[in-house]
Amino acid sequence: MGSHLRKVKALTMSCPVLIAIFITSPCYSGEVDLDMFGLTDHLQKKGAVYNAPLKLDKDGVKVFNPGLGLGYDFRHDIHAQGLSAIVHGGMFENCNNHPFSFAGAGGRYRKYFYKNNFFETNVLGVLTYGNDSQDKHYKSAPMHKG
């Protein structure tokens, strides 16, 4: 029951931030990113979570981790290439079905290679809030996301 209350609290705290981002987004000419999380594939079998509630195989190597993320690119022209500032945040269920959330800021590099086709890379410093399978206590920790 406690895990359910934490999920409700995290969702309740996230809603005002998401509403504020959507209300203020017309003030800028940037772009909004919507991320949908869903699959964790542990590259080494020893990293698997054998008792994961949403595992997709018997060993827990592949686990379904649903969640949503929201990002904003402060680029003045969304069709321009080069560097721009970004913010990003999200929440998903970890392999033990506990909420894991993150928020951060950084930069995005975009390079067009043929007409409307491009590749981009993001580098972010993020603050995370979650727990792991051995330690059930929630804590914040800084990380980087690339």
8-17, 26-35, 74-83, 94-103: which range is least confident on average? 8-17
CA distance 89 to 68: 9
pLDDT at res. 39 = 87
Looking at domain 2-145, which of 1.10.10, 2.60.40, 2.40.160, 3.10.20 is its CATH number?
Answer: 2.40.160
Tell me what pLDDT residue 19 has. Answer: 65
Residue-wise pLDDT for 93-110, tens only, equals: 888 888 888 899 999 999
Which pLDDT score is estimated for 33? 87
Q: Binning pLDDT at 50, 70 and 90, where does residue 135 land?
A: low
Domain extents in the chain: 2-145
Residue partners of 119: CB distance under 8 A and separation at least 6:
110, 111, 113
Measured CA to CA, the distance from residue 99 to residue 79 in angstroms comes to 35
> Within a 13 Å sphere around the CA of 104, how many CA atoms are in the beta-carbon half?
21
Q: Which residue has the higher pLDDT, 132 or 118?
A: 118
